Amino acid sequence: MFKTAVEMEKAAMILKLLGDKTRLTMVKILDSHDCCVCEFVEIFKMSQPAISQHLRKLKDVGLVKEERRGQWIFYSVNKNNAYYSFVAEILKQLPDQDEKLKVLEENGTRMTCC
């Protein structure tokens, strides 16, 4: 089933990170689509620094990784992370967030930026 159980300390740390609605939704979205910061700014109607700070926390524990593409920095889930399978089991149980991206495409925000 699972190679090895996640340590309690690490598990609690991951859960605390995911225990924020914004970050949880980010990870759920990133699990199926790469996104850049400006898309999240649109989706969550939050300031750019607030978004960047959430992404920083996710990056610091290795849950997401970043990749610059020209002017933009794209984030994606780091599926090689030791805790990815732990996280994936949680994400599985969450509702699809694709309609959030669809809204961006409809109002053109997705195209403009990325």
Shortest reach from residue 35's CB to DNA, in Å: 8
Nearer to DNA, 49 or 94 (CB): 49
* Site membership for DNA, residue 61 (CB under 7 A): no
* Number of other residues whose CB lies within 10 A of the CB of residue 33: 15
* Site membership for a second copy, residue 16 (CB under 8 A): yes
SS3 72: strand
Cβ pair 21, 29 in contact under 8 A: no
Question: Which residue in 46, 73, 90, 113 binds a second copy (CB under 8 A)?
Answer: 90
Question: Which residue in 80, 92, 106, 108 binds a second copy (CB under 8 A)?
Answer: 92
* Site membership for a second copy, residue 86 (CB under 8 A): yes
Cβ pair 47, 109 in contact under 8 A: no
Q: Could you say which DSSP state residue 83 is in? A: T
